[in-house]
Structure formats: C-alpha cells, structure tokens
Amino acid sequence: MDIPASLVPSFQQIFEHSPALVARAPGRVNLLGEHVDYNQGIVLPAAINRAVYLAASPTSDGLLTLHALDLNEHITVRLDQLEKPQPGEVRSPGWAAYPCGVAWALQQAGLAVTGMEVVYTSDVPIGSGLSSSAAVEVAFAAAWRALGGWQMDNLQLARLCQKAENQYVGVASGLMDQFASACGVQGHALLFDTRSLEWRPLELPAGTAIVVADSGMRRTLAGSAYNDRRAACEKAVALLSVYKPGLQSLRDISAVEFAAYSVMLPDEVRRRAEHVVKEILRVEQAEQALATGNIQSFGGMMFACHKSLRDLYEVSIPELDALVEIARHLPGIYGARLTGAGFGGCTVNLIDASQAEAFIQGLQAGYEQHTGRQARVYLCQASSGVETESRRA
C-alpha cells in the first residue's frame, strides 16, 4: 500500500519502532442518487483515489491517542469512559468525535477495542462533500478490526461506522458514504440498494473520467439543514400513508402515484419528496444507461439531478450552480451535478478522458471569472475500498 510521504517522518517521531499497521480508506463521490439513501432508495456512488491514511500501534493502557496531522492537533481519551452525547451536547474537539464514535459503536457491538496510538492524514478535502468523515470512520474501524483479528466483512464494518455517525456524532446520515469507502471497486460505480443492502459494481464506460471540483465553500452537516430535509421526507411518508396504506418510505411510491397524491402535501414537504421519488427513478434508468454504454443519457440524468437538488431539495448554493453551468459548455462534458449533501462542497463531472486537461483549465478559469474564487479541481479514478497492511514481522 502506498502511503503519503507526510506520514513517514511522523512514524519516526511518534512510534519507537514501525507502526503495527497502516490503513487507507477512500473518500467517495456520488454519481446519482443524492439524498435517497436515508429514504431506502438505490444509490450510485464510487470510491475515489483520495483517501484518509493512518498508521497505528496498539497500546495496553486503554487509551486512544490521536495525532491529526492536517489539523496539527493531538488528544488522548480513555476508551472505557466513552459515552454517547446527550441530545444537543457538542463534544470538543469535534474532529475527535469520529474516531471516538467508532470506538463507542464497536464497543456497543460487544467488541473489545484495544488502546491505540494513531497518526492520520487525508487528501480528501474536509467539508467538501466527498465524505472525509466517513473515510475517517472506516479507516479507524478497519484498523481496530485488523488489530483485533475480527471476522467482519466490509458491509458490517460500514454499518457500525454509520451507527457512530448517527448516534455518537449526531448526523442522521444514511449508509451510502461509509459503504462506498468500505466496499469500493476500482474502475466501477457501486449500485447499492440501501433497503436490502444488496449491491453490485457497475463498470464505468471506457474513456471516461471523473473530475471533482471543490467550490471552496464549506459546510458542517450537523449544523446545516441536512436533518431538516430528512424530517421533511419522514413527514411526507406519514401524510402519504393515508392514501397508500403500508407505505414505509418514499421508495415505495411511484412517480405516477406521487403525482396523484402529492397535492395533499404542504408545499415544502411536497418539493422535498418530489426530488426523492424522481431521483430514485433516475438511478433505475441510469443502470440501464451504463449497461448499454449510453453515456450521453447518463450525463443528462446528472444534470437533471442537479436541477432537482437546486429547485426542489434546495441544497445547492450559487457557487455550485456556477460550476455546473460552466461545465455544461466545456469540451468533453457528459454530465455534472453537486455531490454530497450540498450547502457547499464539490461538484462531480463525468467527462471524456481525452478532454480532461482542457476541461479542467476551462472550469477553473470560468469559475474564477464568475465568482472571483478559485476552485480546486481534481482528476479522479474510481478506487478500491478500505485496506489495511501489517507493518511488523
């Protein structure tokens, strides 16, 4: 496993000998299926070749010692004193909540979590919508799994990481982010049914590339309207179940049925639910588009998704809209949309790989001209999921 050069001197400073293991957990982009994972829908993410990397050695003192290189911060916590925060309680520092939450979730599952000293860093931009927090969670969970010798597959690992995010960190996220980081397949998107938890890789068309554009606008999910959007979806299900008894989630209502009954919903709730219902349909259509190599159709669905996120779900911002509209007129573009929860972060672009250089230059120049801001633009590949490697004989 290749690790960033920045970790190497940290090994020498912190560990008396080489660390026991290193781990890599990738970030992710979601090509289609935004805000449907917590509505039991089908999503289409891909792990990317930007990741969280950590080096760890077990300790016998029951302590978790964290060295966050990117923040230049350190903290030590007692693993036998982890308690789930009370509603409204904010733990400080916030960055440590993710590894502590993973330790807590593993303990709740009856697993003995060893003390550990960890150095970690990431080239997943924090707060960008590329799931840096999920990558941190998955990397730590995989490290404890390796040190403990547990028989646990990557999907089980992802579900425990989701529990950490939901119940310890306090963000009501679905499973998609942790799943993609844990289960990524190189060169493929992942068609993931968040209800049945069945999934399979879908090969991305030859000659295409993924470009991620970071708007530079940051958001914090726990402090954003993310949880309000989820509550609106739950309210829609409760109201629609009057007309369709047995309705469990927005996954269970077709676009035709929604058109018939949605007039009974409050306007804001209707708009939120309309995005989800139509986005689930888009993912179903996208599977066929990829299977037949119809990349133009797939790209059109990405543009349609962004419009829906902007107008119905209202999670876009002007900077993200600008990136999508600029991309629409550049050479090699198939489709573009915001990726992640929104409120800031990144767009994902599917392009003709042979046009990558011109596309990236055009997107950067257009964004600066339009907003006065500079976008960081990354040429990415669909990556394999989490991996660990022992570094001791």
Residue 344 pLDDT class (50, 70, 90 cuts) = confident
The mean per-residue pLDDT over the stretch 276-290 comes to 96
Report strand pairing: 115-122 vs 63-68. Answer: parallel
pLDDT at 222: 43
Task: Please state the φ and ψ torsions of residue 172, each to the nearest 5 degrees.
Answer: -85, 60
Cα–Cα distance, 243 to 308 (Å, whole number): 25
pLDDT value of position 128? 62
Out of 2, 37, 177, 352, the active site residue is 177
CB contact at 8 A, 103 and 141: no
Is there a contact between 217 and 341 (Cβ–Cβ < 8 Å)?
Answer: no
Percent of the chain residues past pLDDT 70, beyond the cut: 95
Q: pLDDT at residue 23 above 60?
A: yes
**Confidence check: pLDDT of 330 > 50:** yes
What distance, in Å, lies between the first and last C-alpha atoms of the chain?
16
CA dihedral in degrees (250, 231, 305, 255; nearest 10)? Answer: 20
Q: With bands split at pLDDT 50, 70 and 90, how would you rate the model's confidence at 393?
A: very low
- Report the Cα 220 to chain-centroid distance in Å: 13
Model confidence pLDDT, tens digit, residues 312-324: 999 999 999 999 9
pLDDT digits (tens, 9 = 90+) for 100-115: 999 999 999 999 999 9
**Mean predicted confidence (pLDDT) in 145-164:** 96
User: CA-CA distance, 273 to 312, in Å (whole number)?
Assistant: 8
The residue extents of the domains of the chain are 7-33+41-194
Mean pLDDT on 18-42 = 93
Distances (CA, A) of 224 to 172, 218, 228, 291: 11, 11, 8, 37
Q: What's the whole-number mean pLDDT along residues 25-44?
A: 94
245 cis-preceded (ω within 30 degrees of 0) = no
Question: Alpha-carbon Rg of the chain, whole angstroms?
Answer: 21
Is residue 111 classed exposed, middle or buried when 0-12, 13-18 and 19+ CB atoms within 10 A define those classes?
middle
Question: Of 359, 360, 357, 319, which is closest to residue 338 (Cα–Cα)?
Answer: 319
Domain at 7-33+41-194, CATH class: alpha beta
Which stretch of DSSP H or E encloses residue 77? strand 73-78
- What does the pLDDT read at residue 231? 93
The Cβ-side half-sphere exposure at 10, using a 13 Å CA radius, reads: 23
Residues paired with residue 54 on neighbouring β-strands, in sequence order:
23, 120
The pLDDT tens digits for 167-209 are 999 887 889 999 999 999 999 999 999 999 999 999 999 999 9
177 is catalytic: yes
pLDDT score for 192 = 97
Number of H helices, E strands in the chain: 11, 12
Is the distance from CB of 366 to CB of 151 less than 8 angstroms? Answer: no
pLDDT of 351-377, one tens digit each? 999 999 999 999 999 999 999 999 999
Q: Across all residues in the chain, what is the average pLDDT?
A: 92
Q: What is the pTM of this model?
A: 0.90
